[in-house]
Amino acid sequence: MLDDTSRKVFTVLWNTYRNDPFILDVGLISQRSQRTEEQVKAAVNELVKERYLFWVKEAGTFQLPRR
């Protein structure tokens, strides 16, 4: 189960990047989610761990799952 910050970050990521792989802009996500950059980084780590967000190492990008 995700905490409030992770859910908020996921919502912002979904609404911003839902269609394409992306390079994470922590400052932009921090501003849009009204969380600190450290909170955003921790939330992204949790989202990857819980498989809500995928990190494509070869390309250096993140990808949201297709729904």
What is the per-residue pLDDT for 67? 64
The pLDDT of residue 30 is above 90: yes
> Would you state the pLDDT for residue 1?
83
Task: Please give the DSSP secondary-structure letter assigned to residue 56.
Answer: E
- For 8, the domain range is 4-63
| Per-residue pLDDT tens over the stretch 10-22 | 999 999 998 889 9
Q: What is the pTM assigned to this prediction?
A: 0.88
Spatial CA neighbour of 45 closest among 31, 21, 24: 24
Which is it for the CA torsion 44, 45, 46, 51, positive or negative?
A: positive
CATH number of the domain where residue 52 is located: 1.10.10
Number of domains in the chain: 1
pLDDT at 33: 95
